[in-house]
Amino acid sequence: MGPVSLLPKYQKLSNCKGDLAKMTHLQAGLSPETIEKARLELNENADVLHQDIQQVRDMIITRPDIGFLRTDDAFILRFLRARKFHQADAFRLLAQYFQYRQLNLDMFKNFKADDPGIKRALIDGFPGVLENRDHYGRKILLLFAANWDQSRNSFTDILRAILLSLEVLIEDPELQINGFILIIDWSNFSFKQASKLTPSILKLAIEGLQDSFPARFGGVHFVNQPWYIHALYTLIKPFLKDKTRKRIFLHGNNLNSLHQLIHPEFLPSEFGGTLPPYDMGTWARTLLGPDYSDENDYTHTSYNAMHVKHTSSNLERECSPKPMKRSQSVVEAGTLKHEEKGENDNTQPLLALD
């Protein structure tokens, strides 16, 4: 007779491909396809899910120097998913998540959407978040670099707005598994603006996004980049992991290569897609809420942003962003073409030039 399982009975899944593992409450709400993806790509096994989580939790005692402010099952699970259920790696990411917040206390004071700095960045479109996901179920984030008004938004506040947005989005278990895509449009981004991207603030961003946040980034795509963006390579290369470098792509102003990775039907017209132009206020209105007022103490943990209805209100008019510079992306007519390796550096990973 085999060992007796101490785990509760799991609900069996049906109407899905493959022999899926039994489901725990931590997988409730996931589609059968996503559960199967988690099993195949992330090594997620419902039969031992609670043991995996507990083993990560048991490691907390090894880092008494860090205040682990949240250690519930659902929270630890997102770190396991981000590190494909390698428990030691998941714990290291969990520790770095809280350590980053301890070392940068000012960034996380009043860390909510109605903080003045975060609110300005959100209203100015940092970041943009498309409503629909791509064909792999990934959420698409947009950054229009030229919209960075340095007299209005500090780089730190933009980073805070991005991190807050990710905190909201990562609550969705589907996105913990499917991940994110980031597209940065460098149209009209001036050399003067680029000169403000110092090694120290770039390092701060990389540490916050690459080393300390439990998100799976399937790709970072640069479009319409000027020549001096290439120079950023020498600044940030020491801080980037090899895995990260391989996922950063430079497309230039020919978006055929972008469309081979992200289908046009999931992209707004700025990126040669079939969707309408992106409304810079969309995500800000979602995050701030249709009934937002200065008196509201509205934080990212007090609601599910995925279910906020987009309705017209005084806030929508108040928070409508000033006219923004739009992307000048162009797509060549005709069939998308696959470029030969080395034929065009713009289709190569940005940070894998060596």
pLDDT, one tens digit per residue, over 52-90 is 999 999 999 999 999 999 999 999 999 999 999 999 999
What is the pLDDT at residue 258?
Answer: 95
Domain contains 279: yes
Encoding tokens for residue 320?
């409508």
* Rg value, the chain, Cα: 21
Give first-to-last CA distance, the chain, whole Å: 57
pLDDT, tens only, 30-53: 999 999 999 999 999 999 999 999
Residues 310, 316, 322: CA angle, nearest 5 degrees:
125
Report if residue 315 sits inside a domain.
Answer: no
Across all residues in the chain, what is the average pLDDT? 80
Same domain, 143 and 278: yes
Owning domain of residue 76: 27-103
pLDDT at 313: 39
Q: How far apart are CA 12 and CA 21, in angstroms?
A: 8
Half-sphere exposure of 126 (CA within 13 A, CB side): 24
120 and 52 share one domain: no
DSSP 3-state assignment of 304? coil
Q: What is the pLDDT of residues 331-353, one digit of tens each?
A: 333 333 333 333 344 344 433 33
> Which among 242, 268, 294 is the end of a domain?
294
* Residue 129 sits in the same domain as residue 177: yes
Q: Average pLDDT, stretch 16-34?
A: 69
Looking at the fold, whether 93 and 198 belong to one and the same domain comes out as: no
User: How many Cα atoms within 13 Å fall on the side-chain side of residue 313?
Assistant: 14
Are residues 99 and 227 located together in one domain of the fold? no
**Does residue 329 lie within any of the structural domains?**
no
CA 353 to chain centre: 24
Give bridge partners of residue 248 from the DSSP assignment: 220
- Say yes or no: 144 and 268 in one domain: yes
pTM: predicted TM-score of the whole model, two decimal places: 0.78
- Domain shared by 172 and 234, yes or no: yes
Phi, psi of 279 (to 5 degrees): -90, 115
Higher pLDDT, 237 or 324: 237
Longest dimension (CA), the chain: 72
- CA atoms of 187 and 149, how far apart (whole Å): 14
Do 144 and 278 lie in a common domain? yes
The long-range contacts involving 334-343, CB below 8 angstroms and separated by at least 24 positions, are: 336/256, 336/259, 336/260, 337/256, 338/260, 339/256, 339/257
Same domain, 153 and 88: no
Task: Please tell me the predicted confidence (pLDDT) of residue 295.
Answer: 37
Determine the length of the chain. Answer: 354
**Is residue 17 scored above 60 in pLDDT?**
no
- In angstroms, the CA 73 to CA 56 distance is 10
Q: Are residues 174 and 222 in the same domain?
A: yes
Domain-ending residue, one of 55, 74, 103:
103
pLDDT digits (tens, 9 = 90+) for 181-225: 999 999 999 999 998 988 889 889 999 999 999 999 999 999 998
- Tell me how far apart the alpha carbons of residues 137 and 140 are, in angstroms, rounded to a whole number: 9
**CB-count burial class (<10 Å; 0-12, 13-18, 19+) for 1:** exposed
Q: With contact defined as beta carbons under 8 Å apart, do 33 and 178 qualify? A: no
Domain-terminating residue out of 103, 129, 164: 103
Residue pLDDT, tens place only, 129-154 = 999 999 999 999 999 999 999 999 99
pLDDT of residue 53: 97
